[in-house]
């Protein structure tokens, strides 16, 4: 859903790493705003110049320049440098909507250090933003309106799917979808290894494994059936699939995946306490 008047908004970026660049490209691909309405700052001047050349966006001499030219400011930097960024830009903040994708940095961190009433939205996307298939969770700050959430939703829907969660669930989001691509990459690699073991060449095995994961995910998202029902659709009595599923259950794949999410969530909480 595109918010009325969104095309007239000016969007600033502080940080143009993988996630920042993916967002800029997603916004332009979805035609949310024209390239002339995007302003970006980054310590890497070579990267900025390349984005300016390739995407025709505006580059800024410093972070405050990105702020004053923007209605919406997306902070896409490493969490450890957020305090310095906030201190630098706080006098330039007027009525911008601040969207932070800095992992582990709380809304309270921004609200306590920026002018009273600053609108802050926290978002946790994942690396699949680079192929416009991100899973992004969005949490509103105390001054954020329904319209502000609609704006944030429009931006992150341009790079995938979004959900709204309470901020206290962001560590769970980090453990599941934030870290999740790494789990899936490992599963794809393992499936491909099994195919290679049985005689498939590496490229064929990798393609089959990756497409199998992609197709299975689409069935979950688009079909509406419970995952257990979908599993049963593939599992014939006495067939190959039930034999494979038995081995997976015997070797604890289900609990290993659950524990991976829980462990990553706990680590996210630990890192949050340090920020």
pLDDT at 62 over 60: yes
| pLDDT computed for residue 273 by the predictor | 77
What does pLDDT average to over the chain? 95
Closest CA to 207 of 217, 219, 215: 215
| pLDDT computed for residue 241 by the predictor | 97
71 pLDDT band, cuts 50/70/90, is very high
| pLDDT computed for residue 275 by the predictor | 63
Q: What is the pLDDT of residues 119-140, one digit of tens each?
A: 999 999 999 999 999 999 999 9
40-48 own/partner pairs: CB under 8 Å, 24+ apart: 40/12, 40/13, 40/14, 40/16, 40/66, 41/12, 41/13, 41/14, 41/15, 41/65, 41/66, 42/13, 42/14, 42/15, 42/16, 42/17, 44/16, 47/16, 48/16
Report the percent of the chain where pLDDT is more than 90: 92
| pLDDT computed for residue 127 by the predictor | 94
Contacts of 162 (CB under 8 A, 6+ apart): 136, 137, 138, 153, 156
Report the percent of the chain where pLDDT is more than 70: 98
Task: Domains for the chain: give ranges and CATH numbers.
Answer: 6-172 (3.40.50.720), 178-274 (1.10.3730.10)
272 pLDDT band, cuts 50/70/90, is confident
Q: What is the pLDDT of residues 86-123, one digit of tens each?
A: 999 999 999 999 999 998 899 999 999 999 999 999 99
Q: What is the pLDDT of residues 2-36, one digit of tens each?
A: 577 788 999 999 999 999 999 999 999 999 999 99
pLDDT at 1 over 60: no
Question: What's the mean pLDDT in 238-252?
Answer: 97
Q: In whole angstroms, what is the distance from residue 187 CA to residue 155 CA?
A: 30
Q: Which two tokens stand for residue 107?
A: 């809304």
| pLDDT computed for residue 112 by the predictor | 95
Q: Phi and psi for 52 in degrees, rounded to 5?
A: -60, -45
Question: What's the mean pLDDT in 56-63?
Answer: 95
| pLDDT computed for residue 104 by the predictor | 87
**3-class secondary structure, 236:** coil
């Amino acid at each position: 859903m595109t918010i009325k008047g969104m095309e007239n908004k000016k969007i600033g970026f502080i940080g143009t790493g993988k996630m920042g660049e993916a967002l800029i490209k997603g916004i332009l691909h979805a035609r949310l705003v024209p390239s002339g309405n995007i302003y970006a700052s980054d310590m890497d001047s070579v990267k900025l110049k390349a984005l300016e050349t390739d995407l025709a966006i505006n580059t800024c001499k410093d972070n405050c320049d990105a702020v004053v030219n923007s209605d919406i400011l997306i902070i896409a930097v490493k969490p450890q440098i957020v305090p310095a960024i906030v201190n630098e830009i706080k006098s330039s903040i007027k009525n911008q909507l601040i969207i932070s994708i800095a992992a582990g940095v709380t809304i309270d961190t921004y609200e306590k250090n920026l002018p009273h009433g600053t609108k802050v939205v926290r978002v946790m996307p994942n690396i699949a933003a680079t192929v416009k298939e991100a899973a992004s969770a969005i949490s509103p700050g105390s001054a954020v309106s329904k319209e502000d959430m609609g704006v944030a939703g429009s931006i992150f829907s341009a790079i995938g799917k979004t959900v709204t969660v309470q901020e206290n669930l962001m560590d769970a989001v980090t453990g599941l979808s934030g870290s999740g691509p790494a789990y899936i990459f490992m599963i794809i690699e393992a499936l491909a290894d099994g195919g290679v073991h049985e005689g498939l060449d590496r490229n064929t095995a990798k393609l089959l494994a990756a497409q199998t994961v992609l197709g299975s995910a689409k069935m979950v998202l688009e079909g509406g059936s419970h995952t257990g029902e979908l599993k049963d659709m593939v599992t014939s009595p006495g067939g190959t699939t039930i034999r494979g599923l038995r081995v997976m259950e015997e070797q604890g794949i289900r609990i290993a995946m659950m524990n991976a999410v829980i462990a990553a969530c706990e680590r996210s909480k630990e890192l949050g306490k340090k920020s």
